[in-house]
Structure 1
Amino acid sequence: MGCGTSKVLPEPPKDVQLDLVKKVEPYTGYKTDIYKHFIKGDGDAIKSAIPSPPCHTNPHVEQPEPRKNRVAKYRAKFDPRVTAKYDIKALIGRGSFSRVVRVEHKATKQPYAIKLIETKYREGREVCESELCVLRRVRHTNIIQLIEVFETQERVYMVMELATGGELFDRIIAKGSFTERDATRVLQMVLDGVKYLHTLGITHRDLKPENLLYYHPGMDSKIMITDFGLASARKKGDDCLMKTTCGTPEYIAPEILVRKPYTNSVDMWALGVISYILLSGTMPFEDDNRTRLYRQILKGKYSYSGEPWPSVSNLAKDFIDRLLTVDPNDRMTALQALKHPWVVSMAASSSMKNLHRSISQNLLKRASSRCQSTKSAQSTRSSRSTKSNKSRRVRERELRELNLRYQQQCNG
């Protein structure tokens, strides 16, 4: 659902490379436990990533606060109206101005997610207003549903449906089989949701696999569109053009990069990128260098080389081509995409070639290379940070010494 700070940046200067707020994180494998920091019960503990202290502790060393107290303090942050109705169970995610927790309705035992946003900060208010503006208007089987809202002077608690089936690619990796028929079934659900949003004048502006979640772990689970922190909602009669530069670089449409006013067709471009990844496990546009990445996108430069593309139908490639069209006026709408021959015919097909092995290998290969580059970058940053920390510590020590001498002079 997303729980970060404001994800919209000001318009960039014309002579400066765009620095969009979102970053694609590498796939890191199937998540066996998505509920870190789990709260077992009223008097039980939180499973924290911090290891437990050893049994034999030094009595002279200050011991960490008992876990029971930490749980009590954590729950105390919630408005009494919330805790009277819901049991707080687990921390799912966190950001600078928000937390997302798994809760259980006390009466029905139904699980939900609560997004707690600190609205005393401007960024928190912006995210909250944007998301609430959209979620209060939508009601669709493939879109995460807002259940109710609790508001205080400094916080907003958004109670929403809880998607427990995991992210799209996690399911593909775990499944062991994936065909074009499976891909069209996924895309049909996503397209249904996007078509509904566009009918209401809502543009998601950050469609990507991480924001497509399965409702439950079962094989018959539906896909749900989540994270509306960047969404734009327009009322009927309003200018349908948007100008804010935002999104995730690898999924961003060319018209946004050139800072032209754009429409909801940017969502369709993102669906073209998702379709490409869905059928291959690779990105159509990818480069560690932002400038080169943007050049690829602006030219619409991608290829169907390597596995499993020789096994993918021409209809599927045509579907992608009609979405990854640089001119937004030539791009398919959600309704047109739903009526494309590939979506219609493959969804009804009974047997297709299993693409799972190639897709999985490509996903894992990409994850490995991205992890290596991330570690290298972190190592460089760490080295610079160490030098910076040393100089900062020296300055702080000098300041403390000066302050101590000043106090001695005053007392003397």
Structure 2
Amino acid sequence: MGCGTSKVLPEPPKDVHLDLVKKVEPYTGYKTDIYKHFIKGDGDAIKSAIPSPPRHTNPHVEQAEPRKNRVAKYRAKFDSRVTAKYDIKALIGRGSFSRVVRVEHKATKQPYAIKLIETKYREGREVCESELCVLRRVRHTNIIQLIEVFETQERVYMVMELATGGELFDRIIAKGSFTERDATRVLQMVLDGVKYLHTLGITHRDLKPENLLYYHPGMDSKIMITDFGLASARKKGDDCLMKTTCGTPEYIAPEILVRKPYTNSVDMWALGVISYILLSGTMPFEDDNRTRLYRQILKGKYSYSGEPWPSVSNLAKDFIDHLLTVDPSDRMTALQALKHPWVVSMAASSSMKNLHRSISQNLLKRASSRCQSTKSAQSTRSSRSTKSNKSRRVRERELRELNLRYQQQYNA
């Protein structure tokens, strides 16, 4: 939702960012595979997943050969056990120590995602072990499923379900209508998955709309929780308190910000933020300045002003209020949230007014605003870099001139 959302990562290890499949284009069948010409070499980006319009002239033969070489080179990076079972189709994501590719099972033609993680680096190895520890334990219809794992000395290949239906809010924008009843259907699925995780002693710690994907493009698709890169799994005998500061700024619970030990209730705070966005397309807490944003969260003050809030039921607002509670002990658990009257009744007593227009407008406005601020920040960094380069060039020129004068004096 928007451009370049930053993430607060766990303190140990530092500067590690491993993304699960966050967004993939809908799979349209292997006979019309839109990815087949877009396999890129390691380090290249996918420029487009949409085929170019047909040209009237014949394609240049000399361009085909380098592409074949790149494809061969990229596939050669995979362990032979993987390529014996799966056809490598496209690079669809990347992290600091990982690549995510779309593959097709050779026998069944079923599409999957493979996350290739470089474990020769200590940080990559630690995060990989943590993620596998979680994914190997879970099996739930609303949680992305680990299918199998291939391990080598320097890499781990995690074969996972491929969610092709897109992100939650992309689907909402594309739809013609969205009501409170639609919102409760979405939240029921997410809450079911979160309740299951919490029962196993697993805290996701990075719940946000970008990590909620539709399994397929159909109207009846389920929602799946993805990205367990920051998840914490409690082992037997451990207490339930966590202390690591991590998450995505707008969704971080107050107790994490004040560096207090916390429980899985941080996931419920994040679900409160998601519910607020789901019904309005706006954020309860938002500020480009990180310090001011955190102050808002710590106060727990938000409003129901602006469209479409006048059309949203009091029961829906009550649901959000019981999640966005600063004191975690007063916050609803996943089970309590599933039993809330608004969810149980599927918003039966609520207005069935179509909230789609206001939500879509707010979502698109926010996305545009974030893109502009990202471009502005990049421009500022570029300007600073240019100034820095200029001053360096001035210093180098002065040094050359000084050196030249010294040589002239020495030769004289």
TM-score interval for Structure 1 and Structure 2 normalised by the shorter chain = 0.7 to 0.9
How far off its partner does 1:7 sit?
Answer: 7.1
Q: Tell me how far 1:397 sits from its aligned partner.
A: 10
Kept in 1, the 8 Å contact 2:208–2:270? The answer is yes
Q: C-alpha offsets along residues 242-283 of structure 1, whole Å, 9 cap, x if unaligned?
A: 000000000000000000000000000000000000000000
Does the CA-based 8 Å contact 2:134-2:233 persist in structure 1? yes
Contact 1:5-1:123 at 8 Å conserved across structures: no
Determine if contact 1:40/1:89 at 8 Å carries over to the other structure.
Answer: no
Question: Per-residue CA shift, 1:179-206, capped at 9, x if unaligned?
Answer: 0000000000000000000000000000
Change (3 A) 1:296 1:18: farther
Deviations 1:321-358 (A, max 9, x none): 00000000000000000000000112567981100000
- For 1:286-321, what per-residue CA distance to the aligned partner results, in whole angstroms no more than 9, with x for missing partners? 001111110110010100000000000000000000
- Report how many aligned residue pairs link the two structures: 412
Matched, 1:384 2:384: yes
CA distance in 1, matches of 2:126, 2:202: 17
Task: Report the more deviating stretch, 123-132 or 211-220.
Answer: 123-132
> Deviations 1:217-238 (Å, cap 9, x if unpaired)?
0000000000000000012331
Asked if the contact 1:325–1:331 (Cα under 8 Å) also holds between the matched residues in 2, the reply is: yes
Q: Aligned pair in 2 of structure 1 residues 394, 140: CA closer, same or farther (>3 Å)?
A: farther
CA 1:335 to 1:46, structure 2 compared with 1: closer, same or farther past 3 Å?
closer
1:276 touches 1:283 (CA, 8 Å); kept in 2?
A: yes
Mark the CA change 1:232 to 1:74 in structure 2 (over 3 Å): closer, same or farther.
same
Residue 123 (structure 1) shift: 1.9
TM-score (normalizing by structure 2): 0.83
The unaligned stretches of length 5 or more in structure 1 are: none
Tell me how far 1:92 sits from its aligned partner: 0.7
**CA distance 1:330–1:42, change in 2 (3 Å):** closer
Determine the C-alpha separation between the residues in 2 that align with 1:19 and 1:52: 28
Distance in 1 (CA, whole Å) between partners of 2:362 and 2:131 is: 34
Q: Report deviation, 1:384.
A: 1.2
1:293-332, aligned counterparts within 5 Å? 293-332=293-332
Question: Which secondary structure does the structure 2 equivalent of 1:245 belong to?
Answer: coil
* Cα distance, 1:319–1:82 mapped onto 2, change above 3 Å: same
Once structures 1 and 2 are overlaid, which stretch shifts more, 279-288 or 372-381?
A: 372-381
Task: Report which stretch shifted further, 36-45 or 124-133.
Answer: 36-45
Cα displacement (A) at 1:374: 1.7
Q: Contact between 1:8 and 1:244, CA under 8 Å: does it hold in 2?
A: no
Q: Measure the CA separation in 1 of the matches of 2:113 and 2:375.
A: 32
Alpha-carbon distance in 1 for matches of 2:400, 2:63: 27
CA contact (8 A) 1:136 1:146 kept: yes
Residues 81-107 of structure 1: CA deviation (Å, up to 9, x unaligned): 100000000111012211000000000
Shift >4 Å, 4+ stretches: 1-37, 40-65, 347-351, 390-412
Cα 1:20–1:43 change in 2 (3 A) is: closer
- Is 60-69 or 320-329 further displaced after alignment? 60-69
Residue 130 of structure 1, CA deviation: 1.4
- 1:38 shift after superposition: 2.4
Contact 1:286 1:293 (8 Å CA) reproduced: yes
Q: Contact (CA 8 Å) 1:39, 1:90: kept in 2 or not? A: yes
Partners in 2 of 1:209 and 1:35 — Cα distance? 25
RMSD: 6.8
Structure 1 CA distance for aligned equivalents of residues 373 and 26 of structure 2? 10
Among the aligned pairs, what percent are the same residue?
Answer: 98
Structure 1 residue 52, shift from structure 2 partner: 11
- Do the aligned partners of residues 62 and 40 (structure 1) sit closer, same or farther apart at CA in structure 2, a change above 3 Å counting? closer
Q: CA deviation at 1:126?
A: 2.0
2:16–2:96 Cα contact (<8 Å) kept: no
Number of the residue aligned with 1:288: 288
Distance 1:123 1:400, change over 3 A: farther
User: How much has 1:125 moved relative to structure 2?
Assistant: 1.1
- CA distance in 2 between partners of 1:376 and 1:43 (Å): 26
Verify the 8 A CA contact 2:26 2:164 in the aligned structure 1.
no
In the TM superposition, residue 6 of structure 1 has moved relative to its aligned partner by: 13
Are the aligned partners of 2:22 and 2:210 in contact in 1 as well (CA < 8 Å)?
no
> Which runs of 5 or more residues in structure 2 are unaligned?
none
2:46, 2:91 within 8 Å by CA — same for their partners in 1?
Answer: no
Secondary structure at 1:41's aligned position in 2? coil
- The whole-number CA distance in structure 2 between the counterparts of 1:171 and 1:142 is 17
8 Å CA contact 1:6, 1:127 repeated in 2:
no
